[in-house]
Amino acid sequence: MTAIVAVKDVGKTYTTVKGDEVVALEDISLSVQKEETVAIVGPSGCGKSTLLRLIAGVEKQTDGKIERSTDDGRFVVGYVFQDSSLMRWRTVYDNIKLPLEVTNKHNYEKIDQLIEMIGMKGFEKAYPIELSGGMQRRVSIARAFVHEPSIVLMDEPFTGVDELTKEALQHELGTMIRNLHATAMLVTHDIEEAVFLSDRIFVMSRRPGRIVEEVPVKLPAERDPSMRSRLEFFEAAKRVREKLLSIRAMSVDLEAGTP
Amino acid sequence: MSRATIRRRSRPGLAGYGLPILSFVVGIALWELICRVFKVPAFLFPPPSAIAQIYFTGRIDWIGQTLVTLNEALFGLVIGVAVGFLIALVITLSSVLNKILMPYIVALQVLPKVAIAPILYIILGFSNTSRILLIVILTFFPIVINTSTGLTDVDRNLVHLLKSLGASDRTVFWKVRLPNSLPYFFDGLKIGVSGALVGAIVAEFVSSSSGLGFLILNSQYTFNTTAAFGAFVILTVLGLVLYAGVILLGRRLMPWYRPN
């Protein structure tokens, strides 16, 4: 197995405007194998998004190292954000085209293929303001896959989407990851989302963020909504939930202990 | 889902304009009525009918005077917009130049700019340059502030996305910052067009022998209040046309933008 990303003893410390040092991440080690989907679950403010930015290379870690490998020697990420973050001045087609432009790839037929996959044929020329929230998410997902990235990083991709749309989108995303043989890393605070989409789940503690548990998801690679009621689904979800609850209990104790 | 579900929001129909038009017509009629009933002298407050007639007396070259003012306003506006846009670029691209220029920009902004009009013409003489300069000063500031906000206030995720794909600052500028600033720029331009007319009139008050501003000042000396009102009407129409022009141009260039 080849690790696409190997994070080794990584830490990140920020200096605030006042000059205080804030440790956002500490001793993070994990790897993501080729064609694997890994989820990171943790309380808000635990540094999950920071970890994604480090892997993307947008920010630099203060400790440890991140090894990135690829088949063609070029490490490129795809990014899905909490809010779709589309360019409002671009049409659906041109929004999806963006990563191809920036990376100088010209396989524009991929755009049509993805528009087809997200079920938005006929909307190529629509602007983001003309789309529903769910449709905007679909476009931002297509944008993350169009340039065949080494890894797709997803930062709470379905926050603020209504429950039914969310389940449909999760199913579509899972299918897309599998069909495109993509490698993905998902950051979320939604336990069911993590279980449904990933092969392994890392549970992170409150700041400073550390990995406190690794939970394998023993479901078949091919996922469909019926699996949400399988025993393995519940087992994985239960383990993640219990760990998260214990983290919370710990921090409540700490708060209660301070005068 | 059909294409019809994303049809652009329709504009308000004629029904929405009914009340404002009625209000305007009734107001004009009342004005005329009051002037006639109380026999208000025209030099105190002319009735609409007298104002309408003033355009046809042949004593004033209305078209010529209007063109003088409009020319100044547009010329100053164009320069002001260009200067404003350049300054916005400079202060967003270089934080050092930003800090160097900021005190001057802020000082110019808090100063009521028409106050410098009489002195501008001591410095630059009784010339077009001093008039244009006043208009430039009045128009460039909203462009600077709005455009620089638009260039800086971008979706950080988009910047991260481009950077993660290996994009340079230049690419981020062209693909994110510049298009993002467009609606902000147009908001500045809306303020700029009214500033341009104010500038043209004030400049003519202090240093001119033609234009609508000069005509108004001259009407004051000759108690020809009706002519002044004639100029007010033209200025109102000019203001409306310029403002509407900016809005239409904005819609043309930004079909993707919907002001809230």
Q: What stretch of H or E contains A11?
A: strand A3-15
Q: Residue A71: its pLDDT value, please?
A: 66
CATH of the domain at A177: 3.40.50.300
Q: Residue B168: its pLDDT value, please?
A: 93
Phi and psi torsions of B241, nearest 5° = -65, -45
B92 to A135, B136, B210, B230: CA distances (angstroms): 34, 21, 40, 44
Task: State how far the Cα of B125 lies from the Cα of B32, in Å rounded to an integer.
Answer: 43
The answer, yes or no, to whether residue A181 has pLDDT greater than 80, is: yes
- Is A125 an 8 Å CB contact of chain B? no
CATH domain B57-253 topology: MetI-like fold (1.10.3720)
Return the residue of A nearest to B163 by Cα: A58
B104 to B109, B115, B147: CA distances (angstroms): 8, 16, 18
| Position A129 in a domain | no
Residue range A118-129: mean pLDDT, rounded: 94
Average pLDDT over chain B, rounded to whole?
A: 89
Pure H helices in chain B: 15-37, 48-54, 62-93, 95-110, 117-124, 128-152, 156-164, 169-172, 178-207, 212-221, 225-253
Of A79, A102, A131, the CB nearest to B167: A102
Interchain CB distance below 8 Å, A58 and B166: no
Contact B87, B100 (CB under 8 A): no
| Position A80 in a domain | no
**How does DSSP classify residue A81?**
-
Q: Residue B3: pLDDT band by 50, 70, 90 thresholds?
A: very low
Contact B162, B176 (CB under 8 A): yes
**How does DSSP classify residue B3?**
G
Of A87, A127, A147, the CB nearest to B158: A87
Task: State how far the Cα of A117 lies from the Cα of A146, in Å rounded to an integer.
Answer: 11
pLDDT digits (tens, 9 = 90+) for A27-45: 999 999 999 999 999 887 7
Interchain CB distance below 8 Å, B171 and A85: no
Q: Looking at per-residue confidence, does A235 or A253 come out higher?
A: A235
Of B3, B164, B179, the CB nearest to A79: B164
The phi-psi region of residue A47 (left if phi > 0; otherwise alpha if psi is between -120 and 50; otherwise beta) is left
Phi and psi torsions of A53, nearest 5° = -65, -35
Q: Which of B211, B111, B161 is nearest to A78 (CA)?
A: B161
Residues of B in contact with A129 (CB under 8 A): 256-258
Residue range B140-167: mean pLDDT, rounded: 93
At which residue do the structure tokens 């019926």 appear? A226
Q: What share of chain B has pLDDT > 90, as a percent? A: 70
Average pLDDT over chain A, rounded to whole?
A: 89
Q: Residue B29: pLDDT band by 50, 70, 90 thresholds?
A: very high
Q: Residue A1: its pLDDT value, please?
A: 62
Task: State how far the Cα of B256 lies from the Cα of B179, in Å rounded to an integer.
Answer: 11
Q: Residue A256: its pLDDT value, please?
A: 55
Residue range A56-81: mean pLDDT, rounded: 87
Q: Residue B225: pLDDT band by 50, 70, 90 thresholds?
A: very high
Q: Residue B150: its pLDDT value, please?
A: 96
Interchain CB distance below 8 Å, B157 and A85: yes
Interchain CB distance below 8 Å, B180 and A89: yes
The answer, yes or no, to whether residue B191 has pLDDT greater than 90, is: yes
Structural domain including A221 reads 3-75+150-257
How far away is chain A from the Cα of B104, in angstroms, using its nearest Cα?
27
pLDDT digits (tens, 9 = 90+) for A227-243: 888 999 999 999 999 99
Q: Residue B158: its pLDDT value, please?
A: 95
The answer, yes or no, to whether residue B5 has pLDDT greater than 60, is: no
Of A53, A58, A102, the CB nearest to B171: A102
Contact A5, A185 (CB under 8 A): yes
pLDDT digits (tens, 9 = 90+) for B47-87: 999 999 999 988 889 999 999 999 999 999 999 999 999 99
Interchain CB distance below 8 Å, A147 and B254: no
Complex ipTM, two decimals?
A: 0.86
| β-bridge mates for residue A66, sequence order | A7
pLDDT digits (tens, 9 = 90+) for A84-115: 999 999 999 999 999 999 999 889 999 999 99
The answer, yes or no, to whether residue B7 has pLDDT greater than 60, is: no
Task: State how far the Cα of B54 lies from the Cα of B36, in Å rounded to an integer.
Answer: 17
Q: Domain count for chain A, please give it.
A: 1
Name the amino acid, one letter, at B60: I
